[in-house]
Homo-oligomer: A and B are copies of this chain.
Amino acid sequence: MQTTAPVTISEAEWEIMRVVWANVSVTSREVIDILEDKMGWKESTIKTLIGRLVDKEVLETKKEGRKFIYTANINEADTVKSYSEDILSRVCNKHNGLVISHFIKEAQLSTSDIEELIKILEEKSLSAPEVVPCDCVPGQCECHLVN
C-alpha cells in the first residue's frame, strides 16, 4: 500500500532511501556497504537510520532467514513531489514562477529534458490565468500591502 504520506524524511534518512529506491530491495548490509565510506557513517548510524525509517513505516521489511529485506513504501517521485509542494507553500503564488526559474537555472538539464519541460509549459499555458491570485495571509506578502 502506497502512502503519499505526510511522513517527514530527514536529510540523513533520505540518503538511505536513495539506496533503497535505486536497488528496489536491499539488506542492511548492502546499505552499509554503499554508504559507510561515502558518507563517513558508522555501521551503527546506518542501522539507526534504517530502524527509524522502519518505525515511520517508510520502509517495509520481509524477514529472510535472520535478516531483513527492506523495500520502500513510498516512491521517490511522490516524495520529491511533496517537497515541491512544501517549497511552493513557502512563497506567495505570485513568486512560483521565480522559484521555478531558480530551479531551472540551478539544474543540470539535457536537451531532451528541456524539450519535455517546454512541452509541459506550453500545455499548461493553454489553461493558465492572465494573473495568479495571491492567497497569502495578509501581511505575509507584498501583495497585501497595496490593498
Contacts and interface: CB of A to CB of B under 8 A. Distances in A.
Interface of A: 14-15, 18-19, 22-23, 30, 33-35, 38, 76-77, 80-81, 83-85, 87-88, 90-91, 93, 95-111, 113-118, 120-122, 124-125, 128-133, 136-142, 144-145
Given A109-B96, A109-B128, A120 B138 contact: no
Contact of A22 (B87, B93, B140): B140
A81 to B, nearest CB: 5
Contact of A139 (B22, B81, B101, B128): B22
B100 A117 contact: yes
Contacts of A81: 102, 106
17 contacts: A18-B91, A22-B141, A34-B138, A35-B137, A80-B95, A83-B90, A85-B106, A87-B87, A96-B107, A104-B117, A105-B124, A109-B121, A111-B129, A113-B128, A114-B121, A114-B124, A121-B121
